[in-house]
């Protein structure tokens, strides 16, 4: 036994001594190689089998994502159309004033200079994706004037009115940024990647606490497991929570699982792109197994970690289903991934359609028909509650004190909101004309970019789980 652990004894001693240091020195933990020994279980390998409320299993998702979808999706997201996202990171928090801004350099976001963004993206991204080229400039001009100019063609007037109606539609699940605001700037997502920034503690907990406690249909009397802002929780509180959750209608239960899955996915990214070394010579980012264990290990999280990872898979299936449903919108000849580079734009549309047809071939898609079924009046009321709760969460993202976290939080909530909008617009999608502008169902460029990048984040999380499994197996 002694000979087995003797070679890493100094490392283990250093690791335990580190726990005695004050929180401000926690970054030093990342400077040590990460080793986990002893009886700690690597529970990620135990996340398997069928998912609740689904006919799909973890293994099918892993095979499909990691070997058929992930590589091509990453290539698409590196293209100009998808890498530039316009966002307003200066919007005030609508809920409280005492926001503690993260001053760490890793929390900062570097916006694009004007000449760095392709002209084609800037010219068509005031509000809509590049379709109906003959109408778009007139429509944007009319919108900037704040009225429908009678000198515009009848078709253009109709487009302006319909698209305005679309943007105010009750089918929108997010409060989107006004990208015409002087405070809205383009951000290159490849140069501002989602990764560990050091933003944590009470300020970060407060954001998630408000999301879970006030927007997930949960009564105050029900205590959420492992809530860092609550004390004295035991097994009985955990049992009460899951008894309450299972007793919810499928829509409200799904809402909680979507938010939990999003939270889990973000934590996977932070663990996979952790700051391992920070010296005046270089910064080194990589997988922090200890951080991952603390967030997802079955023993360390008292069984909560594996549940969170299953919710991540649930979120994956919801967004995958939305992408499969919206294929007709992207198949229309008028739709372009317009950047101004005709050859590249045509190649990217071809790649986009290849990915979407691959997604459509997935054998075990989530069946959303169980959502908002039954009595029509009650179903409509429930759908509106669902939409308003999610819209509120999108507004909470403006309260995040870390700008890079705010950027990716806004993008991913808008992406999920767009996925939900698609799922509940099946009839509108089915009735779209094969050519010309689609008045009843439309996606803006912002929605398209956020939809695919948000799914790209979930896809990356599933891939990273495989990487963590391998790292943990090598350790053991």
Whether 405 is a known active-site residue: answer yes
SS (H, E, C) 127-189: CCCECCHHHHHHHHHHHHHCCCCCCCCHHHHHHHHHHHHHHCCCCCCCCCCCCCCCCCEEEEC
- 314, 305 contact by CB (below 8 A): no
Torsion from C-alpha of 203, 206, 208, 213, nearest 10 degrees: 180
Looking up tokens 């001053």 gives 103
197 is in an annotated binding site: yes
Contacts 24+ apart (CB under 8 A), 234-243: 238/302, 238/303, 238/304
57 three-state secondary structure:
strand
Whether 24 is a known active-site residue: answer no
236 by Cβ neighbours in 10 Å (0-12 / 13-18 / 19+) ranks as: exposed
Helix intervals (H) in 273-341: 289-296, 304-325, 327-331
Spot the catalytic one: 139, 174, 399, 405: 405
476 is in an annotated binding site: no
345 by Cβ neighbours in 10 Å (0-12 / 13-18 / 19+) ranks as: buried
195 is in an annotated binding site: yes
C-alpha–C-alpha distance, residues 294 and 224, integer Å: 18
**DSSP per residue, 294-309:** HHH-TTTTTTHHHHHH
**Residue 420, token pair as written in the block:** 């939900």
444 is in an annotated binding site: no
CB neighbour list of residue 258: distance below 8 Å, 6 or more residues apart: 311, 314, 315, 318, 416
263 is in an annotated binding site: yes
C-alpha–C-alpha distance, residues 75 and 153, integer Å: 40
Q: Per the annotation, where are the binding residues for FAD?
A: 195, 197, 208, 260, 263, 295
Q: Which residues are annotated as a binding site?
A: 195, 197, 208, 260, 263, 295
Known catalytic residues are: 402, 405
């Amino acid at each position: 036994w002694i000979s087995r652990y003797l070679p890493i004894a100094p490392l283990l001693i250093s690791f335990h001594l580190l726990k005695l240091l004050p929180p401000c020195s926690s970054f030093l933990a990342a400077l040590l190689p990460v080793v986990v020994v002893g009886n700690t279980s690597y529970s990620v390998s135990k996340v398997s089998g069928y998912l609740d409320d689904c006919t799909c299993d973890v293994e099918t998702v892993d095979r499909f994502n990691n070997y058929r979808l992930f590589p091509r999706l990453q290539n698409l997201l590196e293209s100009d159309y998808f890498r530039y996202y316009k966002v307003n990171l200066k919007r005030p928090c609508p809920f409280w004033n005492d926001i503690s801004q993260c001053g760490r350099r890793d929390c900062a976001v570097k916006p694009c200079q004007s000449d760095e963004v392709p002209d084609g993206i800037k010219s068509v991204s005031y509000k809509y994706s590049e379709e109906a080229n003959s109408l778009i400039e007139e429509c944007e001009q009319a919108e900037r004037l704040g009225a429908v100019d009678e000198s515009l063609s009848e078709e253009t007037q109709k487009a302006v009115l319909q698209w305005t109606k679309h943007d105010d539609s009750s089918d929108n699940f997010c409060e989107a940024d006004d990208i015409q605001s002087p405070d809205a700037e383009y951000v290159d997502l490849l140069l501002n990647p989602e990764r560990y920034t050091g933003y944590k503690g009470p300020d970060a907990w407060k954001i998630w606490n408000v999301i879970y406690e006030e927007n997930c249909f949960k009564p105050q009397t029900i205590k959420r497991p492992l809530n860092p802002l609550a004390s004295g929780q035991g097994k009985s509180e955990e049992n009460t929570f899951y008894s309450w959750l299972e007793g919810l209608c499928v829509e409200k239960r799904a809402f909680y699982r979507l938010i939990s899955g999003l939270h889990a996915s973000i934590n996977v990214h932070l663990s996979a792109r952790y700051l391992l070394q920070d010296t005046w010579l270089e910064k080194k980012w990589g997988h922090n197994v200890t951080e991952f264990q603390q967030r997802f290990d079955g023993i360390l999280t008292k069984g909560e970690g594996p549940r969170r990872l299953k919710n991540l898979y649930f979120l994956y299936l919801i967004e995958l289903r939305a992408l499969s449903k919206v294929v007709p919108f992207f198949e229309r000849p008028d739709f372009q991934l317009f950047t101004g580079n005709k050859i590249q734009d045509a190649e990217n549309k071809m790649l986009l359609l290849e990915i979407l047809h691959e997604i459509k071939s997935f054998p075990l898609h989530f069946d959303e028909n169980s959502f908002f079924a039954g009595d029509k009046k009650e179903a409509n009321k429930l759908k509106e509650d669902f939409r308003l709760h999610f819209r509120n969460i999108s507004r909470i993202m403006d309260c995040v004190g870390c700008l890079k976290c705010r950027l990716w939080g806004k993008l991913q909530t808008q992406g999920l909101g767009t996925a939900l909008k698609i799922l509940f617009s099946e009839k509108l999608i089915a009735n779209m004309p094969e050519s010309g502008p689609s008045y009843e169902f439309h996606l803006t460029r912002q929605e398209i970019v956020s939809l695919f990048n948000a799914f790209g984040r979930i896809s990356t999380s599933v891939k990273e789980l495989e990487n963590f499994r391998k790292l943990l197996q090598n350790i053991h």
